[in-house]
Amino acid sequence: MAIKLLDDMDKRIIEILVKDARTPYTNIAKELGISEATVRKRVSKLIKGGIIKRFTVEIGESGMEAIVLIKVRSGYNIPEIAKAISEMDNVAKACEVTGEYDIVAEISSPDTSSLNNTIEGIRGMGGVSNTLSVIVLATW
């Protein structure tokens, strides 16, 4: 897919949605001085063009976050495993990376039990040989 150049209005819409993905289009339109229909059309094009992949929820102070580094056994398809991990409950995203580990997953969970279940689910996937989990203590 060709890389689409974003104009300033697209960038401003994305900035607003990154801060709060639930911002109503009417509020975005008012802030940017454009119509709500224009915002709706631009967001739709950003989604169809793959610029916006999904809208998500960030867990607040009472939630738990973890980073999980994942090694995949030789002969297994890393992108397929990363995609499967990214579709699991509580997984914010999964990235294929270079280095000692093959995949890094960001997990946001409402509690310790749910976080542990997600990590155990990753460990139990076919092709996963090893994981290293770290709990996020603070984010800036």
Domains, the chain: 8-48 (1.10.10.10), 64-135 (3.30.70.920)
Q: What is the pLDDT of residue 60?
A: 58
Across 16-30, 58-72, 94-108, least confident range: 58-72
- pLDDT category, 96, cuts 50, 70, 90? very high
Rounded Cα distance, 86 and 47, in Å: 18
Q: What is the pLDDT of residue 62?
A: 61
pLDDT tens digit sequence for 26-73: 999 999 999 999 999 999 998 888 888 888 766 555 678 999 999 999
Record the pTM. Answer: 0.62
Mean pLDDT of the chain: 89
Helices (H), 3-134: 8-19, 25-32, 36-48, 78-86, 112-123
